[in-house]
Amino acid sequence: MVPVLLDIITTAAILYIVSSGLLLVFGVMKLINFAHGGLMTLGGYAAVIATAMGMNPWIGIPLAAIFGGIVGLGMERVVVRSLYDRPLDAILATWGLSIIIGQVITLVFDRGVHFAEPPIRGVISILGEPYSTYRLILTAVALLLGVGLTMALRGTSLGLSTRAVIMNEDLARGLGINSGLVRSITFTLGSGLAAVAGALITPLSSVDPNMGVAWLISAFMLVLVSGSSLYSLAVASVVLGGAQVIVSNYFGSVLGGMTIAALAAVILRIRPQGFSYE
């Protein structure tokens, strides 16, 4: 029982880390960033680079943030900006960007699987059950991320402007808020978060040019059922992640693999606003 419970908690935490960047972009820009998976892959390779250069594995994380941020900013400037009023085309174009990222990575490295040195190894005993220390650390990271993002949105002037743009962009513009700049910063931040998530999951998943795709679908589904609220995302991560763990445990990992997508589709059919309370 304890391992299942821990699995649910840590899976929810990982899903939250993986989805928060996508949620931020969706909330502010009403745009689904299908390059999210590619950016996660990029982050994974940042960790690989850190390992290859013999650096402390933790260095991979800020490195990923820098990579993701720079690439994200470039994508927003060159491609995404012209697609704000074509949301379905934006999905396709960002998917194309994801392909480009994947192919560039393939050219630089190769198609094979790479490994990044995990920042921490070993297990810790929880109520007499050994459990992966790293997964528990990720849970702490997810909590920090949730609290940090919430505080940034509530406590800073940029956060306030960002929330204003989410709630009513026209009104925000009328009060002198440069919503274009807010979008640009949000996309950069969302991309940085995606890459950080990619670096953080390297100890749990192999690093290859397609590592982001599977995560993208889960993150996308979670964001759809969460609307634009970080709080709803936490609820969705626990409910859907929990369902995935339970289904995987009792019905096999194959069925577990489609739990999030199938469940989210059903939830949206019954309640189009998903877990958001509006």
Partner 1 sequence: MTEAVLAVNGLSSGYGQATVIRNLDLKIAHGEIVAVVGKNGMGKSTLLKSIMGYLPKFSGSVSMAQHAISESRPHQIARLGVAYVPQEKALFQDLTVEENIRLALRGSVSWNEAEATIRRCFPFLLKRLQQKAGTLSGGEQKMLLIARSLSVGAKVLLIDEITEGMQPSVITNLVEIIKRERDRSGLGVLLVEQNIPFTRAVSDRYVLLDKGEISGFGNTRDPDTHDKIAAHISL
Partner 2 sequence: MSDANVKELGSASIQRPQIAPLTRMVVIAAICLIGVGAAPFFMDAYSVNVLVRSMIYASIALSVDILWGYLGVLTFGQSAFFAAGAYATALVFTYGGFSAGNALAAVLIGIAVAVALAGLVAFLAFWHGASSLYASVITLVLPIIVTQVLFSGGTYTGSSSGLTGFETIPLSSEAWFWAVGVWLVVLTSAAWMYTRSDAGRLLIAIRENEQRCKYLGLNTSNIKAVIFLICAAIGAIAGWMYANYTMVVAPEIAGFTFGTELLIWVALGGRGTLFGPVIGTIIIDYASAQLQGDFPFVWKLVIGIVFVSVIVALPRGILPLVSHAANWLRVRTGKAQPQQYAQLQLHKASRSERNIIAAESSGPALIVSGVEKRYGSLEVLSGIDFEATYGEIVSLVGPNGAGKTTLMTCIADGSKRSGGTISVAGQDIGHRPPEECVGLGVGRKFQMANVFDTLTVGECLQIARARLDPLSKWQKSGVCSLPPSAMHVVRATGLHTELHLPAQVLSHGKKQALELAMVLALEPKVILLDEPTAGLTKAERTLIGTILVELTKAEQLCILLVEHDLDFVREISSRVIVLHQGRIVLNGSVDEVVNSELVKSVYAGSGH
Contact residues for partner 1 (CB under 8 A)? 157, 160-161, 163-164, 167-168, 170-179
Among residues 217, 246, 249, 276, the one that binds partner 2 under rule CB under 8 A: 217
Verify binding: residue 137, partner 2, rule CB under 8 A.
Answer: no
Query: Of 91, 137, 158, 185, which lies in the binding site for partner 2, with binding defined by CB under 8 A?
Result: 91
Q: What is the Cα–Cα distance from 94 to 187, expressed in whole angstroms?
A: 12
Q: Does 129 bind partner 2 (CB under 8 A)?
A: no
Interaction between residue 258 and partner 2 (CB under 8 A): yes
Q: Which two tokens stand for residue 159?
A: 């956060």
CB nearer to partner 2: give 221 or 233. 221
Cβ distance to partner 2 smaller for residue 67 or 220: 220
Output the six-digit token pair for 250: 């009792």
Of partner 1, partner 2, none, which one sits near residue 173, judging by CB under 5 to 8 A according to partner kind? partner 1
* Distance set, CA 252 to CA 17, 178, 249 (Å): 25, 50, 6
Instruction: Determine the angle formed by the axes of helices 211-226 and 230-251, rounding to 10 degrees.
Output: 120
User: Who's near 243: CB < 8 A, 6+ residues apart?
Assistant: 259, 260, 263
Dihedral over alpha carbons 132, 133, 137, 139 (to 10 degrees): 30
Q: Confirm or reject binding of residue 246 to partner 2 (CB under 8 A).
A: no
Binding of residue 93 to partner 2 (CB under 8 A)? yes
Q: Within 13 Å of residue 200, how many CA atoms lie on the same side as its CB? A: 27
Whether the CA torsion 262, 23, 273, 13 is positive or negative: it is positive
Nearer to partner 1, 160 or 185 (CB): 160
List the one residue from 56, 84, 87, 115 that touches partner 2 (CB under 8 A). Answer: 87
The residue ranges that bind partner 2 (CB under 8 A) are 79, 82-83, 86-89, 91-93, 95-97, 99-100, 103-104, 106-107, 213, 217, 220-221, 224, 252, 254-255, 257-258, 261-262, 264-265, 268-269, 272
